[in-house]
Amino acid sequence: MRFSGLFTVFILGSVMLIFQHCLGTHASVLTKKYPPGQLKEDAKLLQDVVMEMHPAVGLYQPRNYYTKLFDDFIQNLNDSLTEKQFRLKTKLILEELHCGHTDLLFSSSYYRAAKQLSFNFSPYVFLPLNQRAYMIANLNKKQDSTLKRGQELIGINGITVDSMFRHSKRFISADGMNQTCKEHFLQLGFNSYYPGLFGRPDTFVLEYKEGEFSKKIRVPALKLRNLPPLPLGPKDDSLFTRYRRAKINYRFLDAENNTMVMKIEKFSHTGANYAYRKLFRKLKRNNSKNLVIDLRDNGGGSLSNSYKLLRYLMDTISTQTLCTQIKNYPYRKHTRGNVAFQFTKLVYTLVGVKSRRENLDCFMYRIKPKKNDHFNGRIFVLINGGSFSASCLVAAYLRVNPRVTLVGEETGGTREGCNAGVTPYYKLPNTKLRVRVPAFRIINDISPDITGRGIFPDYKTEYSLKDIFSKKDLELEKVKELINTPQ
């Protein structure tokens, strides 16, 4: 699996904040408990919002399944809970929607309080890989390392690695029944997940393998505000040229300019027109035969941007449909952005075709191939568990093209589409937790059947620990091999 340095820093920092376990602090906002009545009120509002507007209700489970799920949850809220305790319980309910765009965030005051504190971490940093965990770094530079780089971890404080993995993945949002996304983000965030979910003691008891035997060591915790960025993945390529606003890097792999690599970090809302125009003109001018589109760790972004890219690559007209079951945001005093929701519907009405399907307003948009500077050569798309949302849209529409080859691992988002478009945040009245609820179901008309799975590669890559330590890029290596193999 390939890691982007900036992406890793972002994920680890965000995950650390989300799962802070603030033992021994005096910050009242972190330790304050809310009585059952207030928790039930928050949970009831959440139920009402989800049942009225969430596109996933009825998608993977019937509507009455979610009604009973929320009813039972609310009925069993009989103890006072901290914000963190309530959040974790509620997040497990929301995970039943199987929607990667749905999330539950701490209140702003909780984040502010957490940022002022340091927390106990294990001095050893571990990397999940193929259902195991390996030591990859020692953060305590003042102490000799008992564990050696690459040694396998068995457990922490009496909890086995597989138990920690299973429990941690329950809190990682993913589309459908996809596990690749959960594995991907577990790998990026494990060193924040396990202390956040299982405790931050002053001493960590680590059980590890040494040859055929298991051993234990006790190590004092390190008190840190943030985990440092981990040096994972291939080194940044200095030969890349960057379009900063568009979040696109590119380079040619060969002196003849036959093969371009286009790394799209995200589908930015700005700069895409300029970047694509320049890049596809460059491909045409050089008569380039191959284009590598790197969507690894691309979490999505602008739908409009993804359409623009597809127009340079698709050979036939296709459509995408956005559907919503609401006319306006329900319970608007607890959220903002209804104007943006109405504007989105208006735009799709003007540029697409509006229709009514059962109880849904649907807006169909036609994606038309460009005539000028259209790329007609071989296309290789690099994907992994971090490829989500708009990047899955691109991969799904390209995979039916015979000129396209996908390399990597199953995408984090589903093949048939996702729940997104506009995603307002609702603030719960008592705990002030913020829940992100998508307003539209985005349907990839090229493959609309509900599978609950991502887009699968034509050539799957699997990294070994040695590959990661050697900073290999297996996906790009495979592409080079395919390019050099006669068709």
Task: State residue 6's pLDDT score.
Answer: 35
Going by pLDDT thresholds of 50, 70 and 90, the confidence category of residue 8 is very low
| 112-139 tens-digit pLDDT | 998 888 889 999 999 999 999 999 999 9
Task: State residue 226's pLDDT score.
Answer: 82
Question: CA 153 to CA 422: how far, in whole Å?
Answer: 42
Q: Which phi and psi angles does 274 have, rounded to 5°?
A: -60, -45
**CA dihedral sign, ordered 381, 383, 388, 392:** positive
Cα dihedral 241→243→246→247 (10° resolution): 50
Task: State residue 335's pLDDT score.
Answer: 98
Provide the token pair at 388. Answer: 């989500």
The residue among 76, 85, 73 whose CA lies nearest residue 46 is 73
Contact 37, 323 (CB under 8 A): no
Going by pLDDT thresholds of 50, 70 and 90, the confidence category of residue 27 is low
Q: Is 298 exposed, middle or buried (0-12, 13-18, 19+ CB in 10 A)?
A: buried
Indicate the pTM of the whole model: 0.92
| pLDDT reading at 173 higher than 50 | yes
| The residue type at 181 | C
Contact 193, 186 (CB under 8 A): yes
| The residue type at 410 | E
DSSP 186-205: HHHHHHHHHHHHH---SEEE
Task: State residue 143's pLDDT score.
Answer: 77
**CA dihedral sign, ordered 18, 20, 21, 24:** negative
2-6, 354-358, 359-363, 416-420: the lowest-pLDDT one: 2-6
* Higher-pLDDT residue of 235, 396: 396
Q: Compute the C-alpha angle 471/486/480, nearest 5°.
A: 15
Contact 15, 189 (CB under 8 A): yes
All structural domains of the chain, each given as residue ranges with its CATH number in brackets, are: 5-115 (no CATH), 119-224 (2.30.42.10), 241-483 (3.90.226.10)
Angle between helical axes of 5-18 and 108-115 (0-180°, round to 10): 110
Mean predicted lDDT score pLDDT of the chain: 92
H helix count then E strand count, the chain: 14, 25
Contact 149, 55 (CB under 8 A): no
Question: CA 147 to CA 153: how far, in whole Å?
Answer: 9
Task: State residue 232's pLDDT score.
Answer: 73
| 312-332 tens-digit pLDDT | 999 999 999 999 999 999 999
Using the CB atoms, write b or e for 63-101: b if 16+ within 10 Å.
eeebeebbeebbeebeeebbbbebbbebbebbbebbbbb
Contact 54, 419 (CB under 8 A): yes
Task: State residue 398's pLDDT score.
Answer: 98
The residue among 207, 202, 396 whose CA lies nearest residue 310 is 396
| pLDDT reading at 377 higher than 60 | yes
Question: CA 157 to CA 244: how far, in whole Å?
Answer: 45
| 228-274 tens-digit pLDDT | 877 677 777 788 999 999 999 999 999 999 999 999 999 999 999 99
| pLDDT reading at 25 higher than 60 | no
Q: Which residue has the tokens 């890049």?
A: 279
- Plot region of 203 (φ>0 → left; ψ -120 to 50 → alpha; else → beta): beta
The residue among 46, 12, 52, 99 whose CA lies nearest residue 412 is 99
| 371 Cβ contact partners less than 8 Å away, ≥ 6 residues apart | none
What is the Cα 216 distance to its own chain's centre? 34
DSSP 406-425: EEES--SSBTTEEEESS--E
| pLDDT reading at 477 higher than 90 | yes
| pLDDT reading at 361 higher than 90 | yes
For residue 16, what are the CA distances in angstroms to 88, 117, 225, 389?
14, 12, 9, 23
| 449-461 tens-digit pLDDT | 999 999 999 999 9
Provide the token pair at 306. Answer: 């993804």
| pLDDT reading at 9 higher than 80 | no
In sequence order, the β-bridge partners of residue 404 are 379
How many percent of the chain have pLDDT more than 90? 85
